[in-house]
Amino acid sequence: MDIRYNCSLLQHNTFGMDVSCACFVSYGSAEELAGFFSAGRQFSLPKPFLHIGRGSNLLFTGDFPGTVFHSDIRFVRELPGKDGKVRIEVGAGTAWDDVCGWCAGHGLWGTENLSGIPGETGAAAVQNIGAYGVEFKDIVSGVCCFDAVTCSLKTIRKDDCHYGYRDSVFKQSAKGRYVVTSVILELSPDAGPVLDYGHVRAAVDKRMQEMPETTLSPGLVRSVILDIRNSKLPDPSETGNAGSFFKNPVVPRSSFGRVENYARSKYGPEYVVPHYDAGSGFVKIPAAWLIEQCGWKGYSAGNAGVYAKQPLVLVNLTGKARPEEIIALEKKITASVLDIFGITLIPEVEHI
Ligand code: EPU
């Protein structure tokens, strides 16, 4: 275990918050982590404990008084296949996009729509990352963890992960108990593109027309998805951000009626508010649309801002934003969406 005290967290959060932690611990294998806890060595470390990946979905609200753990477990290995599927195990500290690149390079379908999502594989399993019609839950079969309660290593089956929209057992009842050490993915060598989200199919068709010699492959879809993302989302290595700051709200149809009334009075009776059926009388509304309607798109206040191409993303405009500036902006946006639409936006980014 590598243990360091009074460490900067600047390189460990994509928002670029210049904060520190009392202690930072990194480890290279599940066995090393289990051995450390079994020997009771954690008792000498400052509390509380926090396990992070690349820090791409969190906002440090100030210096962290405890110990931050980080996995350096990085590998991709093939396991024996099952039912025509190719199974791979991926270490929690492996950059997620490297996994997508590996799969595309091996002609395997499953991860391509999740290409370009910043962060590491362990966090992908906790957060149930999703993009362009695919979620992590669609390709995972098991999550290997260290159980801090029993001090043992175990594999949790997908069904027991209770995956939901950006949600899992690791964020709910088992929060703080399990540390993801690796994940097992099931991928397919047979063509299985998911192209029905937004303009993905049109973009893939266009690419194939431009390059008639190309065949539909995971690599082609990956490349189109990366282009779409790059055109809409800020690169955290250039502009600090943590992806979507808010979740897309799921509201009862009655609440949606208020949104429709607002839009029709503003844009005319034919206007259709973007929304998706969420079942059982509920609809999901893009938070980006709600935020844009409230006039925040491209807004800036000091070092913090709302990304001009995708208002769901708050950005550290100058690289010098303090947590308070981001939080002040978050509060203003939340208050105005509540005021105009009666909808409470819930942050997707975890506040630490
Ligand atoms: N929209 C606007 N104005 C904008 C941008 C978007 O009104 O400036 C509306 C449009 O109606 C558009 C809709 O929002 O059709 C949806 O936009 P987009 O497809 O960009 O997706 P999103 O709902 O804003 C979600 C995820 C993203 C993921 C994309 C693509 C959440 C919270 N966010 O965003 O995930 O990349 O879909 O699948 O579910 C992340 O989690 O960090 C993230 C970036």
Give 212-252 as a DSSP string: TT----HHHHHHHHHHHHHHHS--TTTSEEEEESBPPPEEE
Residue 59: per-residue pLDDT: 98
pLDDT at 70: 97
Interatomic CA distance for residues 186 and 86, integer angstroms = 6
- The crossing angle, in degrees rounded to 10, of helices 218-232 and 200-210 is 120
Integer Cα distance of 96 and 98 in angstroms: 5
Ligand 1 close to Cβ of residue 243 (< 6 A): yes
Q: Is 288 in the pocket of ligand 1 (CB under 6 A)?
A: yes
Q: Which two tokens stand for residue 325?
A: 């500036």
Classify strands 313-316 and 240-244 as parallel, antiparallel or unpaired. Answer: antiparallel
274 CB near ligand 1 (under 6 Å): yes
17: left (phi over 0), alpha (psi -120 to 50) or beta: beta
Q: Are 272 and 289 in contact (CB under 8 A)?
A: no
166 catalytically annotated: yes
Q: Please give the number of the atom of ligand 1 that sits closest to the Cα of 113.
A: 38
Ligand 1 nearest-atom number relative to CA 297 = 8
Q: How far is the CA of 288 from the centre of ligand 1 (A)?
A: 6
Residue 182 binned pLDDT confidence (cut-offs 50, 70, 90) = very high
Residue 12 three-state SS: helix
User: Are 9 and 21 within 8 A, CB to CB?
Assistant: yes
Q: Is 159 strand, coil or helix?
A: helix
- Does residue 348's CB lie within 6 angstroms of at least one atom of ligand 1? yes
Q: Confirm whether 71 is a catalytic residue.
A: no
Confidence of residue 180 (pLDDT cuts 50, 70, 90): very high
Report the half-sphere exposure of 323 (CA within 13 A, side-chain side).
18
Sign of dihedral through CA atoms 104, 107, 111, 114? positive
Ligand 1 atom closest to residue 165's alpha carbon, by position in its atom list: 39
Residues 6+ apart with CB under 8 A from 135: 128, 129, 163
Q: How many whole angstroms from 21 Cα to the centroid of ligand 1?
A: 32
> Residue 244 CA: which ligand 1 atom is closest?
42
**Distance from Cα 297 to the centre of ligand 1, integer Å:** 13
**224 CA distance to ligand 1 middle (Å):** 16
Pocket flag, ligand 1, residue 110 (CB < 6 Å): no
Name the active-site residue from 54, 244, 325, 330: 244
Q: Going from the N-terminus, what domains does the chain have, and what CATH number goes with each? A: 2-71 (3.30.43.10), 76-187 (3.30.465.10), 240-351 (3.90.78.10)
Annotated active-site residue in 120, 135, 325, 348: 348
- The helix-helix angle for 323-341 and 253-267 (nearest 10°) equals 90
Per-residue pLDDT reduced to its tens digit, 260-270: 999 999 999 99
Q: What is the CA radius of gyration of the chain?
A: 21
Q: What are 326-335's pLDDT values in tens digits?
A: 999 999 999 9
Q: How many beta carbons lie within 10 A of that of residue 89, not counting itself? A: 15
Q: Is the pLDDT of residue 82 over 90?
A: no
pLDDT surpasses 90 at 130: yes
Average pLDDT over residues 118-146: 97
| Averaged pLDDT for residues 189-197 | 95
Read off the pLDDT band of 120 (50, 70, 90).
very high
- Ligand 1 centre distance from Cα of residue 286 (Å): 6
Average pLDDT, the chain: 97
77 is catalytic: no
In this structure, the residue with its CA closest to atom 29 of ligand 1 is 131
Condensed to tens digits (0 to 9), the pLDDT of residues 273-313 reads: 999 999 999 999 999 999 999 999 999 999 999 999 999 99
Residue 204, pLDDT score: 98
Integer Cα distance of 323 and 62 in angstroms = 7
Query: Which of these is catalytic: 112, 115, 166, 325?
Result: 166
> Which residues fall within 8 angstroms of residue 102, CB to CB, at 6 or more apart?
76, 88
Is residue 312 lining ligand 1, measured as CB closer than 6 Å?
Answer: yes
Model pLDDT for residues 6-56, shown as the tens digit of each residue: 999 999 999 999 999 999 999 999 999 999 999 999 999 999 999 999 999
- Is 311 close to ligand 1, i.e. is its CB under 6 Å away? yes
Sheet holding 304-306, edge to edge: 240-244, 313-316, 304-306, 300-301
